[in-house]
Amino acid sequence: MFKGIDVSKWNGTVDWKKVKSSGIDFAMIRDGFGKKSPAQVDKKFKENIEGAKNTGINVGVYHYSYADSAQDGIDEAQFCLENIRGYQLEYPVVIDMEDKEMLKLSTRQRTDACMAFCNEIEKNGYYAMVYTNKIWLENYLHADEILSKYDLWLAQWGGDKPAYNCGIWQYSETGKVDGVNGNVDLNFAYKDYPYVMKRDGLNGFKRSESSPEPQYFEYKVQKGDTLWGLAKKYLGDGNRYKEIKSLNNLSGDTIYAGKTIKIPK
C-alpha cells in the first residue's frame, strides 16, 4: 500500500518538505470545481501541485463536480484538462461525486454525468477515476456501470478495510500529517499507479519512459486456482483479484493451469 493525502485550498499553505519527510507517498490535489471559470480554479492548485512534485511526492488531481447532465460532465472534464495541461501526473484524474445539489437529479442523470466526465478524460490520454462515498455508491449512482469501467476512490471513514474493491481508500478525514495545519484526509492506494502511467504512456508520460517493475513473484497456476482465490491467499482479500488481473494484463477473469502469472508481493 502507498500512503497519501488529499488537499485543496481549505488546507491552507502546505509545507511539502515536511509532508514528504512524514512518509507520504502521494497527494491528490483539487484542481477546481464545476465548469470553466477563473474563479473556479482552486486557489492553491498551482502552489500545491508544484510544491508536491518539487519534493518528490507523486500526484493526482480531483475535480469537484456539480454536473447535472452528460454535457456538463464533458464541460467539467475539459475545464479540468485545461488546468492540468503541462503536468505529468502519477495518479489518476478524478471526478468527485458528493455534492448535495446533485441529489435533485435522478440516479441515471448522476451516473451519465460521471461517465461522461471520465470518458472525456480518457479520450485525452489520462487515467480516469471516480471518487465517492459508500452511501452515494449504494444509493445515488449505478455502481455496477461505474465499477465495471473505472477505478474507485472510496471515502469510507473508520473500519479496518474498505467495503468495496477500490484503487484508493480514503479512510480518515481527521488525519494529522506534519506540514499540514489541522485535519487532513488520509488515503491508502492499493495499485502502483506511477508504474501504470509510465508503462502505458498516460497522464503526460511517454510510453518509452523507463519505469521500475513493481515488486511481484511468479506463480505457476494449479488446477482449480482462481484469481479470487489467489488474491485471498496471497493478498489477504479475494476482492483484490483485480490487482493480479491488472499486473498480468488479463482481459478476462479465467486463468489456466500451467500458466505462470505475476502476483504482487
Please check whether residues 96 and 223 belong to one and the same domain.
Answer: no
Predicted pLDDT at 160? 85
Please check whether residues 76 and 107 belong to one and the same domain.
Answer: yes
Number of domains present in the structure of the chain: 2
Show pLDDT as tens, one digit a residue, over the chain (265 residues).
899 999 999 999 999 999 999 999 999 999 999 999 999 999 999 999 999 999 999 999 999 999 999 999 999 999 999 999 999 999 999 999 999 999 999 999 999 999 999 999 999 999 999 999 999 999 999 999 999 999 999 999 988 899 998 999 999 999 999 999 999 999 999 999 999 999 999 999 988 555 555 678 888 899 999 999 999 888 988 999 999 998 888 888 999 888 889 998 8
Predicted pLDDT at 189? 96
Predicted pLDDT at 46? 97
User: The domain containing residue 227 runs over which residues?
Assistant: 216-264
Q: Is residue 206 part of a domain?
A: no
Q: CATH number, domain at 227? A: 3.10.350.10
Contacts of 131 (CB under 8 A, 6+ apart): 62, 94, 95, 96, 97, 98, 153, 154, 155, 170
pTM: 0.78
